[in-house]
Structure 1
């Protein structure tokens, strides 16, 4: 992550990195807080706050631009894979927020002695329920592509420069469409037991099939082949049947 390292563009907000795309833009009046977690107090605790700004979620990083920049704070950015334990927070009172633990990167204008820094975005006008799932979805897909690239020895760089040799075109960014029934799928109709008994007694090529306690009709698949092996316990059952028949005939001759 870095402070005041985002290249600003008056017309588009900020300059995109190579292959970078904006996935989500937050509502206005987002507050930002960068603080040292209570579990890592350190000697020089960090405390950076901004009351109003806009957060951008891209396929590579989170970018925050304050509404009114100051010489001390003009911008903030953090690579997606340097954000850990990210989750929304829904308090009883006050606006919702989104929190994450940051892993600092060298040269980011933040104390290098800090092992972790807590990022908090407060959504004063709502929108955390859109931002949080979008972040989770893009980060998971980015992790998959980066893991595959590392497995193929496509990149041996450190985590803070993980995108150097990764092809971002392999990252699917759009939301997957929800399933909708097309109406053209062939589904076997479910019939009652009485109807199935009538089908068994009547001639025809339709054979009933019992599925989950109900009988279902359907034509056999054209490529279906009978099993080559006997079902389990077939030989034992056959021997028992033969023995029972022999015993029955023997008892009849004795009587």
Structure 2
């Protein structure tokens, strides 16, 4: 997930908001689960926080090894019940439960973790407003996708890029099955009112593009107003 420039972007992912001042991150077991779940904690006192069109990402300024903490990222819709608070001692705090993604480094016994970002130099209010607007629009887009094709698959991880620029196939690439060829005769037998092949996929992609353009435009307008 990491490269020399920071992190590997997902397909069609763009950075909407970035803060690289004094921001700390703490991952822990939610209080209500501590009595019956395995202990877990990761903490960084300083790092960079990103809000992209798909995820929240945190990169510690100094990755740790014991326990290992090099990065944290999760899809926007995996965050639940976010709250904000402030204190004269440590600044603004943004906190939310997060449902772990399979294979993401969180113990599988944990149904969710508590994510806490502390903003010592400000920026939390702008981040939270951008996050709330993005989450609402992604939820609406998810509902439209579900109406179109009946399912919303999880976002695949980016392909691993080995030295020399050669990309190793991901598991989804290895299991991909080519679509059957459509002959001219079968196309001619299609009913006049039947949508063309891949119509639903094209509609979903168009909705995704419109959503991302709309989000980027609102973020730009918010920056100009400041």
Q: Normalising to structure 1: TM-score of the pair?
A: 0.61
Which residue, out of 10, 30, 34, partners 1:37?
A: 30
Aligned pairs (5 A) from 1:65-104: 65-71=59-65, 72-104=68-100
Match of 1:13 in 2: 6
Match of 1:116 in 2: 112
Q: Is the 8 A contact 2:90 2:118 kept in 1?
A: no
Which residue, out of 16, 19, 22, partners 2:15?
A: 22
Residues 156 and 30 of structure 1, relative CA distance in 2, 3 Å threshold: closer
Distance in 1 between the 2:126 and 2:145 partners?
29
Which residue, out of 47, 62, 65, partners 1:53?
A: 47
- Cα shift at 1:36: 0.6
Q: Is the 8 A contact 2:79 2:98 kept in 1?
A: yes
Residues 61 and 134 of structure 1, relative CA distance in 2, 3 Å threshold: same
- Cα shift at 1:81: 0.5
CA RMSD of aligned residues (A): 2.3
- Cα shift at 1:46: 1.3
Write the deviation string for residues 138-173 of structure 1: whole angstroms up to 9, x where unpaired.
Answer: 11111111110101225353xx44999753313121
Which residue, out of 141, 159, 169, partners 2:209?
A: 169
Q: Is the 8 A contact 2:24 2:45 kept in 1?
A: yes
- Cα shift at 1:68: 1.0
Aligned pairs (5 A) from 1:210-225: none
- Cα shift at 1:102: 0.4
Match of 1:64 in 2: 58
